[in-house]
Amino acid sequence: MKTAVIVTTYNRPDALAAVLEGYCGQSDQGFELVVADDGSTNETAEVVQHFVRRAPFPLTHIWQEDQGFRAAAIRNRAVASTDADYVVFTDGDCVPSRHFVRTHKQLAEPGYFLGANRVLLSAELTSRVLSQQLPIHAWSGIDWVQFWFRREVNRVLPLIRLPDAPLRKWAPHRWKGIKTCNLSAWRTDLVRVNGLDESYEGWGLEDSDLVIRLLHAGVKHKNARLAATAFHLWHPEEDRLRLPDNQQRLDDLLRSTTVRAAIGLDRHGRG
């Protein structure tokens, strides 16, 4: 199964470096990685080039002009750039746990997409991780428990790793709480729904839209929590000016049976 990891980023090269370091330390190196860049400056390109030279997996950089928050568009461009059978979506501020890729691949199953969760780091811990280049992807459970006691991470339960089991399918129609910071799906299913909907402008809900349309297409949710954890580096809240418009668009989708994105992968030669 050819697998691609798509890492979305925008002008946060120090965080991206920590994330790419985490992928270099993965227990399963059988994947390609695409940095989906929503208009960053040259500093991000320099970080990517540094890792291109040393990464044990193929690494490419897909860039689009900065015209505001257009995460859906750059993710679609990234999907269109690869012929992988299976796609793992994540963000450039989410450091993967050591078995992140292996677990997504192991839990992948035809007819299902995977949704997993994350551990949130405090602003103070994030600052130390980035300034001191701390290898949090290699930290043990004991390390994380210590930081939880100090209230520098929000939880440690996601660090427990449970095997695949029927219980992972207990909520096949779930969409709430599933985000593209930790989501994976089969390429054929992404093509069927025409990828992410680029009609969404500004921050918010384009990932929920994708999940709902996958459900409309008959693709079910499989829970990858307590298996494929990512460590989310702190950042200030995004501008939510367009969120009410996006919420109205999502509400309309929930009342429909729409499967295909209005503006999606077919713009980029796929779908």
The CATH number of the domain holding residue 8 is 3.90.550.10
**The pLDDT value given to residue 239:** 67
Q: In terms of pTM, does the model score above 0.75?
A: yes
Angle between helices 243-254 and 206-216 (to 10 degrees): 10
Considering only residues 95 and 270, tell me which one the structure prediction assigns the higher pLDDT.
95
Cβ distance 13 to 47 under 8 Å? Answer: yes
Question: Which structure tokens are listed for 97?
Answer: 């746990």
Describe the crossing of helices 42-54 and 13-24 by its angle, rounded to 10 degrees.
Answer: 10
Quick check: 242 pLDDT over 80?
A: no
Q: So what's the pLDDT on residue 173?
A: 97
Task: Specify the pLDDT at position 139.
Answer: 94
Q: Please name the helix (run of DSSP H) or strand (run of DSSP E) that holds residue 4, with its range, or none.
A: strand 3-9
Residue range 114-137: mean pLDDT, rounded: 96
Region 204-208 average pLDDT: 92
pLDDT over 60 at 263, yes or no: yes
pLDDT of residue 119: 96
Please report the pLDDT score of residue 236 as a whole number. Answer: 85
- Would you say 89 and 211 are in contact if contact means Cβ atoms under 8 Å apart? no
Q: 165: Cβ–Cβ under 8 A, 6 or more apart, which residues?
A: none
| Statement: residue 203 has pLDDT above 90 | no
What's the mean per-residue pLDDT of the chain? 95
Residue 241 is predicted with a pLDDT of 73
The percent of residues above 70 in pLDDT, for the chain, comes to 99
Q: Cα-flanking dihedrals φ and ψ of residue 163, to 5°?
A: -75, 170
Task: Output DSSP code: residue 238.
Answer: P
Token reading at 98: 């050591």
Asked whether residue 77 carries a pLDDT value surpassing 70, the answer given is yes
The pLDDT score that the predictor gives to residue 154 is 95
| pLDDT classification of 202: cutoffs 50, 70, 90 | confident
- Distance of alpha carbon 204 from alpha carbon 71, whole angstroms: 9
Question: Quick one: how many helices (H) and strands (E) in the chain?
Answer: 9, 10
217 is in which domain, residue-wise?
Answer: 3-268
Q: Total structural domains in the chain?
A: 1
pLDDT of 163 > 60? The answer is yes
Span 221-249, mean pLDDT? 89
